[in-house]
Structure 1
Amino acid sequence: MPDLHHDLDLPWCRELLSQPGLVDVEETAKTFPDGSVSNSMFHKTLYRNDAIKAHLMFRRPCTEPDSVRSTEECLLMAVGRDVDGMSGRAHGGFNSLILDQMLGACAHNSMPNKIPPATATMTVDYKAPISTPCVVLARAWVTEVTGRKVWLRGILQDGDGKVMASGKALFITARPASL
């Protein structure tokens, strides 16, 4: 794992990142000839000092009983106040956005394809508010694969393991003719 950003340099983060079997997942943004950037919501809007101040993506062994893969995708992030809906509390849409991003990344990494999969449906259950600023962990894992359909589950949790939001989703991968 790379050196930790000071916002992620917390005992629970260091313990999490010292677990065996973690693999760093490098996020890449593609810039197109017209100047647009793939996944610009994150790479241009959210990855900045007062929104998602620091983040690390990694893959680790999955212990969830409903997982059909041996690994899960994780995103550790330091969250600032510019994602607030109410002062000091992350907007509920932020929770959904992070879950959609992680579930989609997990679907894509479990069935690699030039074209990322698309969200067909997603349900989010809000369990507790995310107080900002803070550090949270997003996790996602595959629960079923049938043809081009990938079902997944994910959660947002704090350093004590308290779940703030959980989600389940169906993603559809691109048709082979689209490649």
Structure 2
Amino acid sequence: MDTKTMDTKTMDTLDHAHFAAIPWCARHLQGDRVIIRAPSCRTLKPADEDTLFADTLNSERGIFRMLQVYEDPLSPTERVNEIKVFLTLGSGLNGYPSVCHGGLVMTILDEVISDLVPINHHRKTIPSGAHMTAYLNTSFIKPVSTPATILTRAWFTKIEGRKYFMQGTIEDENSVILARADALFIQLKSAL
């Protein structure tokens, strides 16, 4: 079955099985409070929202598998401050031979970092509403190889009203940081 036509539950199961079979990834998928799911960007929404990750990049040569992991806070009123997202990248993302294009590295960081906001909207720990990237300052430390499985981490550093300051990294299987980003997302005053 084509991953673009799968329902979310089937995709969650296949993505979970894929990463659970990779020993260094499987270590992150264990724990009583660990929540594991497909990132929301993997589901195509009305008006073509999330088309890039749900459709365009969703292939064996693109981003073949993607799984979000975070620890459920002890209190329902506590914010989720950090998430991890595993991605299996194909060679269709190359800029150079066996190296992911830098623009896609930034796109991955932007998407994963921004996902902290809707998770917390859903928990009602931050106000709901649309948010957009104000800046994404990215440092490329080492090439992101393809094909490969990577770990992208994202966390809040500060929240000031409608401003969400966050950071993120992309790591390889040995926990070597390949890229990092400082980001600011702004909660919009009105809908787009």
TM range (shorter): 0.7 to 0.9
Partner of residue 58 from structure 1, selected from 62, 69, 91: 69
Greater shift after overlay, 134-143 or 102-111? 102-111
Q: Name the counterpart of 2:81.
A: 71
| 1:86 to partner: Cα distance | 0.5
Q: Name the counterpart of 2:103.
A: 93
Deviations 1:34-75 (A, max 9, x none): xx421111111111111111111122379xxxxx95531221
Per the alignment, in what secondary structure is the counterpart of residue 48 of structure 2? coil
The CA distance in 2 between the partners of 1:169 and 1:81, in whole Å, is 27
1:145 paired with 2:156, answer no
Partner of residue 113 from structure 2, selected from 100, 103, 114: 103
1:83 paired with 2:93, answer yes
| TM-score normalised per structure 2 | 0.78
Distance 1:141 1:79, change over 3 A: same
Per the alignment, in what secondary structure is the counterpart of residue 96 of structure 1? helix
Once superposed, what is the RMSD of the aligned Cα atoms?
2.5
For structure 2, list consecutive stretches of 5 or more residues without a partner in the other structure: 1-11, 121-125
Per the alignment, in what secondary structure is the counterpart of residue 115 of structure 2? helix
For structure 1, list consecutive stretches of 5 or more residues without a partner in the other structure: 63-67
| TM-score normalised per structure 1 | 0.83
Per the alignment, in what secondary structure is the counterpart of residue 129 of structure 1? coil
CA contact (8 A) 2:44 2:51 kept: no
| 1:10 to partner: Cα distance | 1.1
Partner of residue 56 from structure 2, selected from 45, 58, 72: 45
CA contact (8 A) 1:99 1:138 kept: yes
The CA distance in 1 between the partners of 2:20 and 2:59, in whole Å, is 15
Partner of residue 128 from structure 2, selected from 113, 116, 141: 113
> Greater helix percent: which structure?
2
Q: Name the counterpart of 1:65.
A: none
The CA distance in 1 between the partners of 2:32 and 2:127, in whole Å, is 24
